[in-house]
Amino acid sequence: MKAKIDNANATALQRMLDSQPVWVDVKAAHEVIPAMDKYQIFHAGPPVSWEEMCQPMQGAIVAALKYEGLATSTDEAFALASSGKIKFSPCHEARAVGPMTGIISYSMPVLVVENKTFGNLAFSTINEGAGDVLRFGAYSDNAVHRLIWMEKVLAPALKAAVNKMEGLSLKVIMAQALQMGDELHMRNQASSALFIKTMAKPLAEVVDDNKKLQEIMAFLTQNNDQFFLNFAMAAQKATADAAHGIEYSTLVTTIARNGVNVGIRVSGLGDQWFTAPAPPVDGLYFTGFSAADANPDIGDSAIMETCGLGGLAMAAAPAVVRFLGAGTYRDALKYTNDMYEITVGENPHFAMPNLDFRGTPMGIDIRKVIETSITPVINTAIVSSKAGVGMIGAGVARAPLSMFEQALLAFVEKLNL
Amino acid sequence: MVSSPNELFNQPLAVINIGLKIFAEALQEQAVPCVHVDWRPPAGGDSNLLAILAKLNS
């Protein structure tokens, strides 16, 4: 049995390593998600009902219903959301990911990323920047107007530019950014800068209206350091999906949180979720906030950790350590070194200068997690438990051990051992 | 070769601590040279999980 599992894991790992995620297009969600209708909404994390959802996720859904024109007021949107007419599903089950609340509705433009090696597609929302934003549960008019501007102005420009470029390799930007001090989950300063440097000329070429071009460049360059995160998430999703469905593989291909529960999926166990209560985030809070104000861990952005970045690559990003309240740089080294204990390989394409160019830990094995009791470390933003308040800090969360225990038990049951 | 515990404790100690870090920290606070090994029982000592791991790794 060991040989079968090890071989399957080697195959899954190789598929992750061989993946070449390329941003190829921007399309409306309903154009890429089969049979999607206006009354369908996708969310971060494992399945969750409206009644069970945390406040920020409910707030984001209210914003989406107003944005879609399905409700003309906040009260009407809450009533519709709780009426049973809206179908809620995890983004991950539609080959998609979204940070924080992760809400994707019918008309929202999504980034289309193609894994050129294996042909699979992955989708992500476009990052809204800072302030009043849906991903943190805001449903104000400002939040809705921003979504409309992104659909009408930003998305067509990005689409035209990437079409003209015939695609943009995301792995190249991610590898460079890792060497410039990003871990690509909570620090995307370098990746966003590289992205904007790459896109400035193509955008200028495809946007004729000078006022619109100014708006776009202001949006991309002002208070928007996490803009590249969504591209990286789609790249990681395309990479993880390529390693999913390998019989006998015990590698984790999904880690995602909905603010109430966190769930994992395993390559050799189909689409079954293994869940546990979402953990609290240990971190630093903005002035005026404390742990008492925080929602438990939320977002599909743990796809960064699933494929070896974010918390797993903390050693690459000394600057993020203080931002997260994660101790000293020595602690960051320990986080990454611990992650080598639960992974089956390393990614030489993502070399970390601070570890003498050692590759990032890659391929989380549920057997190793159980054996060592070391669980994946997740770097993350902290959102207020009240809808609309937004981001109140940043920190580190640990994926609960019980999910991995459940997965291991399901694995032996499936194999009749 | 140390012949008795008394003789051992009558000379400078260099300690390797395995497991609970608090013992290493206590020695380090007393300026006793100590290397800590971060070790814990496999599968947290859970016999059921250990049996499953043994099956999967056989």
Whether the Cβ atoms of residue A8 and residue A249 lie closer than 8 Å to each other: yes
Domains A20-231 and A244-414 share a fold: no
Tell me the pLDDT of chain A (417 aa) as tens digits.
999 999 999 999 999 999 999 999 999 999 999 999 999 999 999 999 999 999 999 999 999 999 999 999 999 999 999 999 999 999 999 999 999 999 999 999 999 999 999 999 999 999 999 889 999 999 999 999 999 999 999 999 999 999 999 999 999 999 999 999 999 999 999 999 999 999 999 999 999 999 999 999 999 999 899 999 999 999 999 999 999 999 999 999 999 999 999 999 999 999 999 999 999 999 999 999 999 999 999 999 999 999 999 999 999 999 898 888 878 899 999 999 999 999 999 999 999 999 999 999 999 999 999 999 999 999 999 999 998 888 999 999 999 999 999 999 999 999 988
Residue B9 C-alpha, separation from nearest chain A C-alpha, in angstroms: 33
- SS3 assignment, position B18: strand
Q: Average the pLDDT over B1-28 and give the result.
A: 83
Q: What is the pLDDT of residue A388?
A: 82
Is the ipTM beyond the 0.90 threshold? Answer: no
Q: How confident is the model at residue B25 (pLDDT cuts 50, 70, 90)?
A: very high
Distance CA(A356)–CA(A353), nearest Å, equals: 5
Cross-strand pairs, A255:
A264
Chain A residue whose CA is closest to B52: A412
Residue-range domain boundaries for chain B: 5-56
- SS3 assignment, position B42: helix
| Residue A69 burial class via C-beta count within 10 angstroms: exposed 0-12, middle 13-18, buried 19 and up | exposed
Chain A residue whose CA is closest to B53: A367
Distance CA(A58)–CA(A78), nearest Å, equals: 8
Whose CA is closest to A406, among A275, A267, A259?
A275
Of chain A residues 310-369, which have a CB less than 8 A from chain B? 367
Structure tokens at B35: 């290397």
How many beta-carbon contacts under 8 Å exist across A and B?
Answer: 37
**Domain A20-231, second-level architecture:** Alpha-Beta Complex (3.90)
Work out the number of other CB atoms within 10 angstroms of the CB of residue B36: 18
Torsion angle, CA of A56/A131/A26/A204, rounded to 10 degrees?
180
Whose CA is closest to A277, among A397, A104, A383?
A397
Q: How confident is the model at residue B10 (pLDDT cuts 50, 70, 90)?
A: confident
Whether the Cβ atoms of residue A229 and residue A130 lie closer than 8 Å to each other: no
- Chain B neighbors of A367, CB-CB under 8 A: 53, 56-57
Listed as own residue / partner, the contacts of A205-213 with beta carbons closer than 8 Å and 24 or more positions apart are: A205/A161, A205/A164, A206/A157, A206/A160, A206/A161, A206/A164, A207/A157, A207/A160, A212/A153, A212/A157, A213/A157
Superfamily of domain A244-414, CATH level 4: v583 domain like (3.90.1700.10)
Q: What is the pLDDT of residue B7?
A: 80
Question: Is the model's pLDDT at B1 over the cut of 70?
Answer: no
Q: Average the pLDDT over B22-39 and give the result.
A: 92
- Chain B neighbors of A408, CB-CB under 8 A: 49, 52-53, 56
Query: Which of A4, A342, A405, A415 would you mutate first to test chain B, the one with the most B CBs within 10 A?
Result: A405
Query: Which of B50, B52, B56 would you mutate first to test chain A, the one with the most A CBs within 10 A?
Result: B56
Q: What is the pLDDT of residue A417?
A: 81
DSSP letter assigned to residue B39:
-
Question: Is the model's pLDDT at B9 over the cut of 80?
Answer: no
Tell me if chain B has a CB within 8 Å of the CB of A218: no
Of chain A residues 220-259, which have a CB less than 8 A from chain B? 250
Residue-range domain boundaries for chain A: 20-231, 244-414
Q: Which of A1, A250, A373 sits opposite B58 (nearest CB)?
A: A1
Tell me if chain B has a CB within 8 Å of the CB of A370: yes
Q: What is the pLDDT of residue B6?
A: 76
Q: What is the pLDDT of residue A324?
A: 85
Structure tokens at A352: 């970390």
Q: What is the pLDDT of residue B2?
A: 56
Amino acid (1-letter code) at residue A337: N
Chain B residue whose CA is closest to A367: B53
